[in-house]
Amino acid sequence: MNTQTHTPQKADNTGTIKMAAADWCMRIQSDECSPLDRAAFEQWLQENPEHEQAYNKILRVWLLSEHLVPSSVEARQEENPPAETSGIVQLPPYQQPPRWQWQQNARLLSLAALLLIPFGYGGWLLNWLPNEYHRYSTDQVRQEVTLPDGTQVEMNLNTHITYANFRDRRHVDISGNGEAFFKVAHNATHPFEISAANGTITVTGTAFNVWKYQQDVVVTVAAGSVIVSNNASDLHLTPGMQAEYSGHDSPQSEPGNIDQALAWQSGKLVLDDQPLSVAIPQIDRYLDHSITLNDAAVANLRIGGIYNTDNLDGLVDSLPQALPLTVEKRLFGGLVLSSRHQ
């Protein structure tokens, strides 16, 4: 697995673009939208002209359903801005609008009510807008949540997901780095899908673990079956199997170790004689600072063992005693691991 910089998911077909546009619309309009969300959104818009076109269509439906007609109070205040006298704002006296204006406003409000139903329902029928949208996040405490469809999700530290219920699917997006174990409520006619980096995991009812770091994703199946899709390639997983993909590379499957994959639920991290290029992304997500591997030699050094996830700073500090490397602190935060020549 690599440690390249995260970029938003790229859509490669019309349906996926519409789905991504609807998700972005909900995230940007949410009160919980962060500066990182907005930066990722701007990058997504620039990736493909079709992204902006699809987003604008979704946004028009969104605005029609929420902001069809401004209130008469707002309109009056725009036409007659308050005067200022000695720093005190003087509001103009309220004037009853003439009967013809009241009748016009009533007609507009009636039209708004009539438009709200077809546009909102039309967005649902076209699979552009969901009828439910929720966000869940964890910081330094693992958390179990139950989604509106009955799916149970156990979320690891520093994990952020969104849930949206569309007419033809249930959709979850893992934003940023994160890890979660899903016990999906079975519904053969309403598939459950997860967007993670540049791939999609689709099920109707099963139990599986998803680990995501930047563009690297690992899916481990405990029960049922899972389809992992990436770069126009589909991979069918059954219990005990694991799939991994990075960027736009096609997913690769191998026998998985579900106990090892779910060790995080007990606050453990299991490293099975892995190179630091693979181990550091698993360690890094539990730390307050990032770790950079300075050269290929240090990336190929191997490490193994079982560690407590609440004391991985101690593991990093002890690496120079176990491996031929040095640990340097960056001026503006973060650590750099470099090989130590003997």
As a whole number of angstroms, the longest Cα–Cα distance in the chain is 91
The position carrying tokens 């990058």 is 43
Which whole-number Å values give the CA distances from 8 to 41, 166, 228, 231, in the listed order?
Answer: 8, 21, 18, 15
Phi, psi of 97 (to 5 degrees): -65, 150
The single-letter DSSP state of residue 183 is E
pLDDT band at 219 (very low <50, low <70, confident <90, very high): very high
Enumerate the domain spans of the chain.
1-81+96-129, 130-259, 267-339
Task: Take residue 35 and report the two structure tokens written for it.
Answer: 């500066």
- Tell me the per-residue pLDDT of 309-318, one tens digit each, with 9 for 90 and over: 988 888 898 8
* Average pLDDT score over residue span 141-160: 94
271 vs 164, 186, 264, 281, CA distance in Å?
Answer: 34, 33, 12, 11
Which residues lie below 8 Å from residue 142, measured CB to CB, with a gap of 6+?
Answer: 154, 155, 156, 157, 264, 265
The pTM of the whole model exceeds 0.95: no
Looking at residue 199, its amino acid is G
Sequence-ordered alpha helix ranges (H) in the chain: 14-29, 35-47, 49-66, 72-79, 99-125, 258-261, 276-284, 296-299, 312-322
Six token digits for residue 114: 């009539």
Topology match between the domains 130-259 and 267-339 = no
The radius of gyration of the chain's CA atoms, rounded to the nearest angstrom, is 25
Residue 95 CB coordination number (10 Å): 8
Which has the minimum average pLDDT: 5-19, 125-139, 193-207? 5-19
Helix segments in 132-227, DSSP class H: none
When the candidates are 3.30.565.10, 3.55.50.30, 1.25.40.10, 3.30.479.30, the CATH number that belongs to 267-339 is 3.55.50.30
Evaluate the CA torsion angle 274, 291, 287, 42 in order and state its sign: negative
Q: How far apart are CA 203 and CA 190, in angstroms?
A: 9
One-character DSSP codes across 207-243: EEEEEEETTEEEEEEEES-EEEEETTEEEEE-TTEEE
Extract long-range pairs of 143-148: CB within 8 Å, 24+ residues apart.
147/172, 147/185
Q: What percent of the chain has pLDDT over 70?
A: 73
Give the burial string for 53-72 (b: 16+ CB within 10 Å, else e). ebbebbbebbebbeebeeee
Pair 178, 158: CB distance under 8 Å: yes
Which of the 8 DSSP states describes residue 74?
H
Indicate the DSSP class of residue 287. S
Measured distance CA(147)–CA(118) in Å, rounded: 27
Mean per-residue pLDDT over the chain, rounded: 77
CA atoms within 13 Å, Cβ hemisphere of 238: 0
Residue 10 confidence (pLDDT) above 50: no
For residue 165, give the nearest of 113, 203, 130, 200 by alpha carbon: 130
Say what the pLDDT of residue 156 is: 95
Q: What is the DSSP string of 26-38?
A: HHHHSTT--HHHH
Whether 183 has a pLDDT exceeding 50, the answer reads yes
Average pLDDT score over residue span 36-49 = 86
CATH architecture, range 130-259: Sandwich (2.60)
Digit-coded pLDDT (tens) for 276-323? 999 999 998 888 888 999 888 999 999 999 999 988 888 898 899 888
Nearest to 243 by CA among 228, 230, 258: 228
